Amino acid sequence: MQVIDLITKKRDGGKLTEEEIDFLVQSYTRGEIPDYQMSAFLMAAFLQGLDFSETRFLTKAFISSGEVLDLSDIPGLKVDKHSTGGVGDKTTLVVVPLVVAAGATVVKLAGRALGHTGGTIDKLESIPGFRVDLRPREIKEIAKRVGAVISEQTSNLVPADKKIYALRDVTATVDCIPLIVSSIVSKKIACGTDCIVFDVKVGSGGFLPDLESARRLAEMMVVLVKQFGKKAVAVLSNMEQPLGFSVGNALEVREAILTLQGRGPQDLVELCLELGSQMLVLAGIVPSASAGKEKLVKLLREEAGLEKLREMILAQGGNPDVVANLDLLPCSSQILEVKSGCAGYIKEIKARSIGNAALLLGAGRLNKGDQVDPAAGLTLMKKVGDYVSPGETLAVLHFNNSRHLDEAKKLVETAFHFSAEPPVTPPLVHKVISPDFQADE
């Protein structure tokens, strides 16, 4: 079997067999296929697509490239959540400690920044000392002791996806539904979880700009998870503007902690309650989403999630004092205010432009292997629906390196669109797809 033949077959619209996809994945994981050939295959798959069977084969190959955690000795159902990627999306840092405080167990493999979107692992690494490179034995031990653990993909867990994930980020093949589905589902299955809540972002800040594409991806994930013997729910949430006010790793950790203190932005709190309640339903802790929200609101008021976050940070080697002293988080050496040049109501904040601005400031990776600046990013001072006068600050840029500052500033300025009348804001949650959803392959 020759790699070039498989690249050609997919380039010309052919359908690959399970054996062919497994060969590609395992050979690349072992280093027998160079980056440039895998990049060519990814682009061919991006342009020609992969059908459901090919997506299932790819997911299975990802899983079999490493070991699968056996969590059967941990009591109860293990639940997880995963976002398809957004701007300012720090929900994991709020939802996980909250649902664990409610009695759930969460074992999560998370990723790094991908394109213009942030990554949970990069956010957690902005906490001094926090370890994300956990061995499978450590993952199980922490899950048993604390109830929650968040780790990056190790050399033993889904190594194929880890390599390909980094390659997609720098080859313009990120926003491809089958590749997104395989990447996400393989990690969920490999970490031994029983049920998953998917947060599928819809809008300019996600990889799926329209509701129809997001719905197809959500349905595919729910069905695919079921074929691996698990249960899933998909929540389609709005990503036309950044979630919350902060974009950037340490800045988002700060906002997540404030949220667990009861001082979070309204949109972030609303989405966290929706995702968390669905997780509690799947885990069998509450009978309905409404009951789950009531439970989580109570825990939020009692700051139970904040204490659980402290336990999680301590268990993974981080400094738990950050939950009480936000000054312990990395802080940029310089800031720049971006001011409005006109008056009016903000009718739109293009989330992708904001994400790309944070990327240029150092919060993400322009090239494979780039180091992320944990302090870089930006803070929005206004949101959609707010009235702005000329000269008011729209956003504050945080940076240590000014190399791309002018370009980032321009992106932020052009991200804001105004109207004379207050805009009609779309719902934060568009739709929830249940575990009972059925679809033809």
Beta strands in 245-380 (DSSP E): 246-247, 334-339, 344-349, 377-380
Calculate Rg over the CA atoms of the chain.
Answer: 21
The CA distance from 59 to 399, in Å, is 38
What burial letters (b/e) apply to 286-304, b meaning 16+ CB within 10 Å? beebeebbebbeebbeeeb
Q: Which two tokens stand for residue 350?
A: 């293009």
- What is the DSSP annotation of 4-49? HHHHHHHHTTPPPPHHHHHHHHHHHHTT-S-HHHHHHHHHHHHHH-
Q: Which of 88, 2, 1, 10 is nearest to 42 (CA)?
A: 10
| Catalytic sites, residue numbers | 82, 161, 168, 183, 187
Residue 200: φ, ψ to 5°? -95, 115
The CA distance from 39 to 33, in Å, is 10
Give, in degrees to the nearest 5, the angle at Cα 106 between 203 and 377.
Answer: 45
Residue 420 has a CB neighbour count (10 Å cut-off) of: 8
Beta strands in 203-349 (DSSP E): 231-238, 246-247, 334-339, 344-349
Determine if residue 88 is left, alpha or beta; phi over 0 gives left, psi from -120 to 50 gives alpha, anything else beta. left
Q: Partners of 79 in the beta sheet? A: 106, 195
Residues 206, 253, 243, 84: what is their CA dihedral angle, to the nearest 10 degrees? 30
SS (H, E, C) 421-432: CCCCCCCCEEEE
Residue 325 has a CB neighbour count (10 Å cut-off) of: 10
